[in-house]
Amino acid sequence: MKIDLGSFAFGSTISSGGNTPSWGTSLGQIKPDLKLTYPGYDNIVIGMVYKSIPVDKVYIPLGKGGHICNSLEDEGIQLAALFDKVYVNEVRVNAPFIMLIYKEDSNSWAGRKTLKYNTKIEYRRGKNDIVYNSDFINAAREALQLADDACWVISDIFILNQDELHMIAGIVNPYQSETFPTADIRKAAFIDAIKTTYDENPHFKQKYSDEAINSLPRHAIIPLPVSPYRPFITAIRTKPFILLAGISGTGKSRIVRKLAQVTDDIDQFENEDDRWRLQRPANFELIQVKPNWHNSMDVVGFKSNINGEHYEFTPFVDFIVKAWCYQDTPFFLCLDEMNLAPVEEYFAEFLSAIESRSIGEDGEFETDPIIKPFDNFGAELSGMMMHHFVEMGYDIPNDVENRLRKKGLTLPKNLIVMGTVNMDETTFSFSRKVLDRAMSIEMNEVDYDGFIEGRTEYNIPRLVEHNDLLVNRPISAQEVKNSIEAQSVMDFLKGVNELLEGTPFKLGYRAANEAILYVAADKAIGADNIQTALDDFTLMKILSRIEGDDSKLVTKDGNKLLDELYDLLKKDDIFGTLAKSKSLAKLDSMRKTLKRDHFVSFWG
């Protein structure tokens, strides 16, 4: 949304007067039609509602001799929002920003609605916890590498994904302030600076026009190029529980560490080479599963009375609480060789909680707790946790502490669990309960030519600027169904289910939900090929369920199930047009194994 030029400007004066910005843009007036009329206002209002904060805790100077007022003193404050993900010219600013919608009550502007972004706005969210817009301005200068008295102006404000606030700035003079003889001359200088910004970044006009912003669905993202890492990103956006299966030594745990490295915005790096040398990024944890894990105590801990009542914490619990403290950063937990013990026994709480994900009435991500604040021990448990984590050097935000006390330990939206799987005679097979709750990716390919030349890593680009890809994920198909050919996905699943009728492999609602999410996620990162997405999904969620002998792998009509499924997928309107179908290749291999051994498993 274009804002009033000069209303949000810094480091400029006019020798003839009029030096103070108005700090606001009119969105519309009651007269004549009671509507907000400014182009692009709806994008702003929707995002502000999504990120709204209590108006009685927001203070703003409203021309009363510098007096700072809140809504109890001035009823003009209609809506307040706090954005903690803010970008100026696509550079992340390390400070939050507060915006208001204010209703004017003067005789001349009765009923006018104004977007306010005054630098003196305060949000007093807690005792000794105050957010100042002035801190944002200082952080924005630092992010843009501007001097304290630099001359610059904000010309556009818009919101992506309902919670990312973006601004476009024109830099008149990055080193010092400027004095202009008239307002018109200053306006011309501002326009030149803004034009320079757009000329240097021509994609701004295409990506950030009002039409482009207003047409974005809720979870739209800036596309990333299609690459070998695509299935990992798409699977995570579909569900944050991934199984990486394959022969030993193909880089399964390494890919998890790599994903953490490229999304780590917590550690400080003097140069980018340091990022790749860091073995333990702040957003990464590796837990080695032990063969004797037959209950959840080794994962979620337990209450002990030895040497006084206390709670035995685990690296898993530590990592989840740390993730709660950095909710905008993806946190990757690698369960190494996770099938050395029965997953449904030691990971029961997680398997239950991952299926309870929802968005509450307050817009917050919620799950069932993996550690409940049970009986009177709940407050004591939270207190122990706080003491424990402070000792470990974590800063526990007040809202996280309150959540732990009231709701116990729930899963944060930025937690991604990826388990490595080696299928041999020393490991346990997966139950359908586990397979239904996870996305499965095979990693059996070995590139010896690349190995000898030092090319063994997946080509994953830096994703720090796209962390929202992996954190703010849709949960239900209803959120994204209008962005894809949802009926085509349903028709595909109906055809598959017709073949699976009467077998234990039939698909349920969970698979349908994840099929829609997967296709939408694949489109969101730039692939936009429904056949390719469904090919991946078939490999991950349909074929991974299939195992048995000759007598079990038959259709209700008595035909060979794998042959029937192969013929269905090979049809031209499904996967037949793909240059190389991974599902067809896997099915062909499974058919040959069944013919030879009279038993087959996807995981064999």
Mean pLDDT, range 157-166, rounded to an integer? 85
Tokens linked to 365: 């991500």
Residue 117 has pLDDT above 80, yes or no: yes
**pLDDT score at 514:** 93
Say what the pLDDT of residue 224 is: 44
Report the distance separating Cα 195 and Cα 189, nearest Å. Answer: 10
Q: pLDDT-derived band of residue 227, with 50, 70 and 90 as boundaries?
A: low
**CA 181, 184, 185, 189 torsion: positive or negative?**
positive
**Per-residue pLDDT band at 532 (split at 50, 70, 90):** confident
Sheet holding 97-103, edge to edge: 24-28, 113-116, 97-103, 77-83
Q: Name the DSSP letter for residue 255.
A: H
Specify the higher pLDDT residue, 183 or 445.
183
Give the pLDDT of residue 35. Answer: 52
- Note whether 95 and 165 are within 8 A (CB): no
Q: And the tokens for 181?
A: 């003889």
In the predicted structure, residue 225 carries a pLDDT above the cut 50: no
Check pLDDT > 80 for residue 518: yes
Q: Are 70 and 100 in contact (CB under 8 A)?
A: no
Under DSSP, the state recorded for 525 is T
Average pLDDT for 114-142: 89
3-state secondary structure of 278: coil
> What single-letter amino acid sits at 567?
D
Cα–Cα distance measured from residue 518 to residue 9, given in angstroms and rounded to the nearest whole number: 43
Do residues 334 and 241 lie in contact, with contact meaning Cβ atoms separated by under 8 Å?
A: no
As beta bridge partners, residue 439 has 242
**Gyration radius from the chain CA atoms:** 28
Q: What does the pLDDT read at residue 110?
A: 60
DSSP-derived secondary structure letter, 538: I
**pLDDT exceeds 90 at position 470:** no
Which pLDDT score, from 0 to 100, does residue 222 have?
39
Mean pLDDT of 60-78: 66
CA atoms within 13 A on the CB side of 50: 18
Instruction: Give the least confident one: 65-74, 435-444, 502-511.
Output: 65-74
Average pLDDT rounded to a whole number, residues 240-250: 84
Q: What is the pLDDT of residues 437-468, one digit of tens each?
A: 899 988 877 666 655 655 555 556 555 556 77
> How far is it, in rounded angstroms, from Cα 430 to Cα 286?
21
DSSP structural state of residue 369? E
The single residue listed with the structure tokens 């707790």 is 369
pLDDT of 218 over the 50 cut: no
Q: Taking the CB of residue 236, how many other CB atoms lie within 10 A of it? A: 22
**pLDDT, mean of residues 11-35:** 69
The structure's pTM equals 0.63
Mean pLDDT for 276-298 is 89
Residue with tokens 């239950």: 352
Yes or no: say if 530 and 485 are a contact pair by the CB < 8 Å rule: yes
Percent of the chain with pLDDT over 70: 81
**End-to-end Cα spacing for the chain:** 56
According to DSSP, residue 55 is labeled G
pLDDT value of residue 226: 45
Residue 516 has a pLDDT of 94
Q: Please say whether the beta carbons of 67 and 116 come within 8 A.
A: no
What's residue 33's pLDDT? Answer: 45
Of 108-112, 133-137, 287-291, where does mean pLDDT reach its minimum? 108-112
Give the DSSP H/E element, type plus range, for residue 119: none
Residue 216 token pair:
């974005």
* Helix segments in 239-342, DSSP class H: 252-263, 272-277, 297-300, 315-325
pLDDT band at 36 (very low <50, low <70, confident <90, very high): low
Say if residue 127's pLDDT is above 80: no
Q: Find, among 232, 254, 250, the residue nearest to 242 by Cα.
A: 232
Average of per-residue pLDDT across 306-318? 80
pLDDT(37) > 70: no
Average pLDDT score over residue span 324-333: 91
The mean pLDDT value of the chain amounts to 82
Confidence (pLDDT) at 489: 92
The average pLDDT across 376-400 equals 69
Q: How far is CA 210 from CA 72, 136, 167, 204, in A?
A: 35, 24, 13, 11
Strand partners, 92: 87
Does residue 7 carry a pLDDT above 90?
no
Q: pLDDT value at position 62?
A: 64
pLDDT for 506 beyond 70: yes
Spatial CA neighbour of 575 closest among 487, 496, 484 = 496
> Tens digit of pLDDT for each residue in 547-559?
899 999 999 988 9
Q: What is the pLDDT of residue 361?
A: 72
**Contacts (Cβ under 8 Å, ≥6 apart) of 129:** 398
User: Residue 221 — very low, low, confident or very high, per pLDDT cuts 50/70/90?
Assistant: very low
Three-class secondary structure assignment of 87-131: EECCEEECCCEEEEEEECCCCCCCCCEEEECCCCCEEEEECCEEE
Residue 138 is predicted with a pLDDT of: 94
pLDDT at 446: 67
Rounded CA-CA distance 183/16 in Å is: 8
Helix axes 582-597, 561-570, angle to 10 degrees: 160
At which residue do the structure tokens 């501002």 appear? 190
Concatenated DSSP letters of 366-388? E--EEE---TTHHHHHHHHHHHH
Give me the pLDDT at residue 482, please: 84
pLDDT band at 562 (very low <50, low <70, confident <90, very high): very high
CA–centroid distance for 172 within its chain:
35
Instruction: Lowest mean pLDDT of 10-14, 94-98, 267-271, 489-493, name the range.
Output: 267-271
Query: What is the spatial distance between Cα 333 and Cα 319, in angstroms, rounded to a whole number?
Result: 8
Burial of 235 (0-12, 13-18, 19+ CB in 10 A): buried
Query: Does position 582 have pLDDT exceeding 50, yes or no?
Result: yes
Strand, helix or coil at 513?
helix
Residue 241 has pLDDT above 90, yes or no: yes
* Contact assessment for residue 478 and residue 272, using Cβ atoms and an 8 Å cutoff: no
**% of the chain at pLDDT higher than 90:** 30
Every domain of the chain and the residues it spans: 9-214, 476-604
DSSP structure string for 159-175 = EETTTEEEEEEEEEESS
Return d(Cα 229, Cα 124) in angstroms, integer: 43
Q: Average pLDDT for residues 407-420, to the nearest whole number? A: 92
**b/e sequence 223-232, b meaning 16+ C-beta within 10 Å:** ebeebebbbb
